[in-house]
Amino acid sequence: MSKEWGPDDIFDVLASETARDILLLSNSTAMSAGQLARECDASKPTVYRRINKLQEYDLLEQRMVIDNGGNHYNTYRTNMDRICFDIRGDEFVVTIRFEEDLIDRFVSAWTKLGRSETGDN
């Protein structure tokens, strides 16, 4: 994760309707800032501010795309698939589950398999 955070930070980031819209819109397909601005009915500067904040907390992934004409631009895709808010005692606990690519899932599964065979947990 790029930045340390606590529940207040995540609540602050998600307080923005535009940030929540960006996460929803870019969940199924990567989108450019221009596409997100149109879909969110927001200005590009507003979208870029929200993109930057989401990236600070690794909630959004950026990739460069080169089109057939040789032009390049960035696209953004949601980098997590679940945020859970729990109340434990007198505090909020936030758990974010980040998307893993195929290699990460394989390594995780292999590691868990090795622990279960040795009896470690």
Q: What pLDDT, on a 0 to 100 scale, did the predictor assign at position 3?
A: 56
Q: What pLDDT, on a 0 to 100 scale, did the predictor assign at position 4?
A: 61
Written as tens digits, the pLDDT of the chain (121 aa) is 455 667 788 889 999 999 999 999 999 899 999 999 999 999 999 999 999 999 998 899 999 999 899 999 999 999 888 888 889 899 888 888 777 654 555 555 566 666 655 555 5
Q: What pLDDT, on a 0 to 100 scale, did the predictor assign at position 62?
A: 95
Q: What pLDDT, on a 0 to 100 scale, did the predictor assign at position 1?
A: 46
How far apart CA 86 and CA 56 sit, in angstroms, is: 23
Q: What pLDDT, on a 0 to 100 scale, did the predictor assign at position 27?
A: 92
